[in-house]
Structure 1
């Protein structure tokens, strides 16, 4: 199923008491895609380098692409492993994934979910599994998968907050940038203004723009436009929505401006880009 950011999903079952089952101890391996694993029942460990992480029911793991890791089941377990291409994620999922790895120690990240959060995460995994089993995706598949993935990533962040209150940031300027990035990724499709972002942090627009540009490498306005264009590219390849609708959905009030900026950033018109994904 070509949905852009989705690789595969697997419902795994392992019983270490089965002497013929060699999956109880898995050799070190890596994936081109990032992994999100939810343990539903059982116990075991995931390891990467010197890190050894105990996993219990309700634990949600994030494993970056390319990381060599292994796992061992010590009590019959069941769960879901979802593999995603994080470089192709929708904007808010992209932020949630990158923010998780930028804020937490260790290559393998773990959040212990409350029973309610674990239930919602499991429902999200079921939704993804159902969509991936469809022989042909529908016009709603992209949105359903995006929403389910957001649920999983929000469950992870909520779980880490529930585990311990976050210590005050030692770098308030970096926290300001992270807060601004979060707001942009959440609201890129609205009439978001740089002046409003600056005001939210009690800064003049010029000072905010300089701090953002120094840290990110492009201005806030350029970043917002780039995010909108990237999402438009994904929607053009994964849906049959009219170009004008997509322009509005990603935050452009003018179809002509969307067209001009798309050509400038991509080197082809939106319709040419759509056709390139059909070949």
Structure 2
């Protein structure tokens, strides 16, 4: 499956998956659930073109990255980004039971992990939801039907999003002004933001800023801001009983006609009609 766009439900502005939902390319390649109890499971100087994710159910595994040894134990998830050289083996326990998956995750054709730093492992304990998601994904057959691919993309997005939301993340290149502008927009999209202000923050002319932003993000600043506002509005309409007029104001819209027209263009229904239909689900 290639270039499968998946639009996540609204999450906080700091959610990377939600931030780039419009330009997200995600593809599950393969995975499984294995019991390892032999020293044969080891390899050095591995460079995988796909990102790896593990969920350890029992025992321990040892991963060596950048001359640092990382031991992942039961109840921990681990991510090894594509292209990262690593060694792996069992520990002295000589036993591990784990889920594993290999996948691609790109933003505008670039690997997500090229832009952000994540911890290689997180502790989540015995998590029934994550167990179920891994179990569903690894049990699915290699099937290229659209429905199967959408299901795989949906499950994979939930796993990656869960991982990201459990840990601190930071930009790898703090000098990349576009990513700094994106973070500013993520934290302030509910307020009035204009192109002149954003261009000034990037120390560029408006035309230069527009070209650079679209190259990196695959969309214009205004389209991106509207996407965040509408996605937030959709979440509030689904999860609260707040009046539509209040939701409009809280998400950065100041004209009801424009808000209704924009919402309908994005979600096919007016805000009020969307709420009616959602409540019937």
- The TM tier, using the shorter chain, reads 0.3 to 0.5
Q: Which has the higher contact order (CA 8 A, sep 6+)?
A: 2
| TM-score, normalised via structure 1 length | 0.48
| TM-score, normalised via structure 2 length | 0.47
Give the strand-richer structure, 1 or 2: 2
